Structure formats: C-alpha cells, structure tokens
Amino acid sequence: MRELSDVDVVGVVGAGTMGNGIAQVAATAGYEVVMRDIEDEYVERGLDSVDDSLGRLASKGALDEEPAAIRDRIAGTTDLNDLADADVVVEAAAEEMDVKRDVFADLDEVTDGDVALATNTSTLSITTIASATDRAGDVIGLHFMNPVPIMDGVEVVVGERTADAVTEFAHAFAADLGKETWESDDKPGFVTNRILMPWINEGVRAFDEGVADKADIDRGMKLGTNVPMGPLELADHIGLDVVLDASETLHDELGDRYKPAYLVKRKVEAGDLGKKTGRGFYEYGDE
C-alpha cells in the first residue's frame, strides 16, 4: 500500500459532474490528474466544466493560484491504459453495478498492485464492486458530496475485505484534498443516503398530499431544523433522476420505508430533473 507521500498522480474514471469535480479538487491540491471517460466529447465537456468552476472560484478569491495553473495539471483521455501510472484511482462512472464492476476489473489489470482503487458510489456495495478484482483489500468507497469543489465532506465506506491500511490512506487522501471525512460500513445507502433519501421522499409526499406548498415545506425544514436546503430544493440540486435511482436501490435492499415518492417518478418520466434541466420542483434560469 502506497503512503500518501508517494502519491503524485491521481486517476479519475468518469468526466461527469462528480468526476470532473474530483479531478478539480485533486489538481487544486497539487496533484497531477488523469481524467478518463469513454468518449472525447465527454472528456471535453468535463474539462470545460472544470474551467467554468475554477473561473467562478477565482472571481470570489477562493483560489490560492491562477486557474490556468490548476487546469494544466489535468489531462483528459479516453484510454484507460493512461491511468497505468496513477498512484490512486477514484472511479466516478455511471451508478450501475455492471458498469462499475467492469471498470474495476479493468483497473485491476491496468494499475499496479499497491494502488488504492476507490469508488464514488453513493449506494452500491463496495464489497460487490471489489469482487470484480483480485485485490479486494485495495478497494474502498470515497463518496464525495455534490458539488465536489464546494462541499466539505467525503464519506469513507469500508468493504468487507478492505484493508485497514487502505482505510487509513483514504481518510488521509481526502483530508489532503481539503475534505473532512466520516466512516461507514458497507451497508445499503451508507450513512448519508440511508437517512437522506427517506427525508427527501417524505418531503415530496407532504407536498403531493397537500400538507403545505413546496416553499413552506422547504422553509419549514430550513428554519425548523437549521439545514441549508429543504427536501424539495435539495432534490432539485441533486437531480431527481439521481434521487430516484438511489431510492429504488435502497427500496430493493431495505423495503418499503425507502419506496420512492410517486411525484419523483413522474417528474423524472417528464424529463424535469431539477437544476440541471432547468426545471424540477422549481424552475431555474441560466444559473
């Protein structure tokens, strides 16, 4: 197992919202980053998102160096073999077990045997993902929160066979990226989504059943519990498709208390996914 002091290059699999955010914070922390996705257009879109995010942070005086210097530390690729020199890899591909297992089977072949392999999954079993490799002890969950450059937390999820040294490394690596960590066993939903998904779905049901209008539900939860966003606002921020996928996974694993709210399903079917599509429970401009 490599020590944190041995890490120079961070590999990221996936250039979407989570992947490019992870690449950005790693580059901001001084690491060289190789970000891989399956199509050139996805890679370019991810790099453009990093440019936009760095520009916004720079305009707020939130960076210690020029955005261009950070951006220059991120290389994009469609070739997984380009991660061969990575000292740690974080996977942020689609939230589908078959996809993640395929990625980890390939990473097992491409990377050195002393490289930690982390998955950014928010609900799927670390142990099942790790079983696609011959080195389950090196596999761990690093569940970053969205948006990655802004949110301070990372959930460290320990699989059945994750080595203690890898768990210690994961906490140290996240801290070096400027994040605070908490640890969860490899149980469905981990800490965050196990508690968060029922909260969001119950807020949606309260709105759908006429308990209060959406603004008062969100306002009541913010003022009554001191959270920064109410359940409907947060659902729009996360993405209603992501909420639905996570809720359905937990429903399959844990039963009816995790059943997705009907109105979430209806909005996803309509293509109203929240802020990323401009409409969810609320409507959004050009944010």
122 is catalytic: yes
Verify whether residue 209 is a known catalytic residue.
Answer: no
Which one is catalytic: 49, 53, 184, 193?
193
Residue 276 labeled ligand binder = yes
Is 37 annotated to bind ligand?
Answer: yes
**19 labeled part of a ligand binding site:** yes
Judge whether 146 is annotated as a binding position: yes
Report the residue count for the chain. Answer: 287
Residue 111 assigned as binding residue: no
DSSP 234-265: HHHHH-HHHHHHHHHHHHHHH-GGGPPPHHHH
Dihedral of CA atoms 38, 41, 47, 49 in degrees, nearest 10, equals: -110
The annotation status of 206 as a binding-site residue, yes or no, is no
Is 251 known to be catalytic? no
Q: Considering the candidates 155, 201, 233, 247, report the single residue annotated as catalytic.
A: 155
122 annotated among ligand-binding-site residues: yes
In the set 49, 53, 120, 122, the catalytic residue is 122
Considering the candidates 143, 184, 201, 247, report the single residue annotated as catalytic: 143
Active site residue 53: no
174: which 2 tokens?
């996240």
221 appears as a binding residue in the annotation: no
- Is 18 annotated in some ligand binding site? yes
Residue 168 belongs to what H/E stretch?
Answer: helix 164-176
H or E segment to which residue 171 belongs: helix 164-176
Please tell me whether 203 is known to bind a ligand. Answer: no
Coil, helix or strand at residue 24? helix
Which residue numbers are catalytic?
122, 143, 155, 193
Binding-site residues: 14-19, 37, 95, 100, 122, 146, 276
Binding-site residues for NAD(+): 14-19, 37, 95, 100, 122, 146, 276
